[in-house]
Structure 1
Amino acid sequence: MDNTNFSLCVYCGSKPGIDPAFAQAAAQVGRWIGEHGGQLVYGGGCNGLMGTVAQATLDAGGRVIGIIPKALVEKEWANHNCTELIVVDTMHERKRLMAEHSDAFLAMPGGIGTFEEFFEVWTWRQLGYHDKPVGLLNIAGYYDGLMRFLNNSVEQQFMGDWQMDLMQMDDDAARLLPALIQAAGLAPEDRLDAV
């Protein structure tokens, strides 16, 4: 199968987190990308969920593009097993290239870097800078508190329902992944069954 049917950008933690469900989900996401002829675009790290999703994609026959700032390469955090490792000067350049190389975006559990990347691409979609699908994978209730906060922002009229509608959230990767790729208009439904 062609390995470039779609490019999915995945934002996730450089640590594994305490719940084994996080790493299991990262492996599932990577496996799904590879088995469905996709390409992973991610931050180029070798640790935590980042390393897990990248290795699972490679093991399943997918391509992996890692984009990492030089400062992190020098700390030996770069994943040199990537199909293509792009080293950039700044975080801004990293995020711009990740967005340009991707057809859709998925945020998994992670820390402030993951939050910032997720909110940025969601904001860019709201502003019309892109019209690519944005998804939030809520593994083991990790983002339950965030969703309560966001719904409160809507209730307080700092956000509208239309903004919430620009983002898809699910706790099941097998549902969310095909939904994102289909929303990008890149593959017929029958080629994107759950793994």
Structure 2
Amino acid sequence: MKSVCVYCGSSNGVKPLYAEAARAFGRALVEAELALVYGGGKVGLMGVIADTVMAAGGRAIGVIPELLVNKEVGHNGLTELHVVPDMHQRKKMMADLSDAFVAMPGGVGTLEELFEVYTWAQLGYHQKPVAVLNIDGFYDPLITMLRHTVEEGFMRGTYFDVLQVEAEPAALISRLQRYQPPPQDKWADNRNAV
């Protein structure tokens, strides 16, 4: 594992601990010698984690669509900033550059990005770890909903277990580095319950 894609909010949220966790996760990435791949913004948690990685001597790779660069939210102080035509190309490039995916607190865009790579894992497009950094229980309602989908027969338990959940940045990185995808036959089973 060389790089981790982080999806997170373009705002800081109402609790200061979200930004504190973003800084802690940024430092943990650098300590583990992992590059940050993210949406290329300079605002919100996106900017916090990127600034932390750069200040700690790490690598931060941003991928941002032209529309957001034109709105002047692109981060110019990164190791690399890729400007792409649209959101689809942004998400594809971020996925191609990454060995794992982590969602921190964020809004509907963060959730959409998380669910896209989670679905790609279910369909067998990749076997990279998909995770949430569950700061202060932020993702507890989502985890409850996902369990409900298993209970109601819309998702297999094997696929539910693919989502890695940790509350502490260093613990999450350790878990990502140890991740072993389910055997191929289990992944094939999951394709019947998309």
Same-fold status (TM-score > 0.5): yes
1:1-195 matched pairs, under 5 angstroms: 6-183=2-179
Calculate percent identity across the aligned residue pairs: 51
**Structure 2: which amino acid aligns with 1:19?**
K
Q: TM-score, normalised by structure 2?
A: 0.90
CA distance in structure 2 between the partners assigned to 1:159 and 1:184 by the alignment: 20
**Structure 2: which amino acid aligns with 1:35?**
E
- Measure how far apart 1:183 and its partner are: 2.3
CA distance in structure 2 between the partners assigned to 1:62 and 1:182 by the alignment: 22
Q: Which segments of 5 or more consecutive residues in structure 1 lack a partner in the other structure?
A: 186-195
**What secondary structure is seen at the aligned counterpart in 2 of 1:54?**
helix
| Alignment deviations for residues 69-123 of structure 1 (CA, whole Å, 9 cap, x no partner) | 0000000000001110000001000000000000111100000010000000011
Size of the aligned set, in residue pairs, is: 181
**Structure 1: which amino acid aligns with 2:37?**
V
- Measure how far apart 1:182 and its partner are: 3.1
- Measure how far apart 1:35 and its partner are: 2.1
| Alignment deviations for residues 21-66 of structure 1 (CA, whole Å, 9 cap, x no partner) | 1101100111111122221000000000000010111111111100
CA distance in structure 1 between the partners assigned to 2:178 and 2:155 by the alignment: 26
Q: Which segments of 5 or more consecutive residues in structure 2 lack a partner in the other structure?
A: 182-194
CA distance in structure 2 between the partners assigned to 1:183 and 1:157 by the alignment: 25
CA distance in structure 2 between the partners assigned to 1:184 and 1:158 by the alignment: 23
Give yes or no for contact 1:35–1:61 (8 Å, CA) kept in 2.
Answer: no
Give yes or no for contact 1:13–1:110 (8 Å, CA) kept in 2.
Answer: yes
Q: TM-score, normalised by structure 1?
A: 0.90
CA distance in structure 2 between the partners assigned to 1:134 and 1:101 by the alignment: 14
CA distance in structure 1 between the partners assigned to 2:75 and 2:133 by the alignment: 23
Q: Which segment drifts farther, 55-64 or 67-76?
A: 55-64
**What secondary structure is seen at the aligned counterpart in 2 of 1:41?**
strand
**Structure 2: which amino acid aligns with 1:159?**
M
**Structure 2: which amino acid aligns with 1:83?**
T
CA distance in structure 2 between the partners assigned to 1:60 and 1:168 by the alignment: 26
CA distance in structure 1 between the partners assigned to 2:76 and 2:179 by the alignment: 32
Superposed CA RMSD: 1.3
CA distance in structure 2 between the partners assigned to 1:111 and 1:169 by the alignment: 18
**What secondary structure is seen at the aligned counterpart in 2 of 1:169?**
strand
